[in-house]
Amino acid sequence: MDSIEFKLDREHVQLNNLLKLTGLAGSGGAGKALVSAGGVTVDGAPESRKTAKIKIGQVVRCGDTEIRVVAT
């Protein structure tokens, strides 16, 4: 499994934008499509909200990639 450490410099980032910013989706719309397809989990639970607020300390998984959200 690949692992990405995403440094968050604000209170939260929307899930679809996180997928875009980490390169797992080519755009915010593509990020929404990944979430709609059911391929994304947040802290181990399936996430269906495309614009869920992801905060520091959370772990997002998409396919074989894990994104750990950390403070800057």
Among 60, 72, 58, which residue's Cα sits nearest to residue 25? 60
The full set of domain ranges for the chain reads: 2-71
Q: What is the pTM of this model?
A: 0.95
* pLDDT mean over 44-54: 98
Look up residue 53 and give its two tokens.
Answer: 């607020």
Is residue 44 scored above 90 in pLDDT? yes
In degrees, to the nearest 5, what angle opens at C-alpha 58 toward C-alphas 34 and 48? Answer: 30
Q: Which residues contact 50 (CB under 8 A, 6 or more apart)?
A: 14, 15, 16, 31, 32, 35, 36
Residue 71 pLDDT: 97
What's the CATH code, domain 2-71?
3.10.290.10
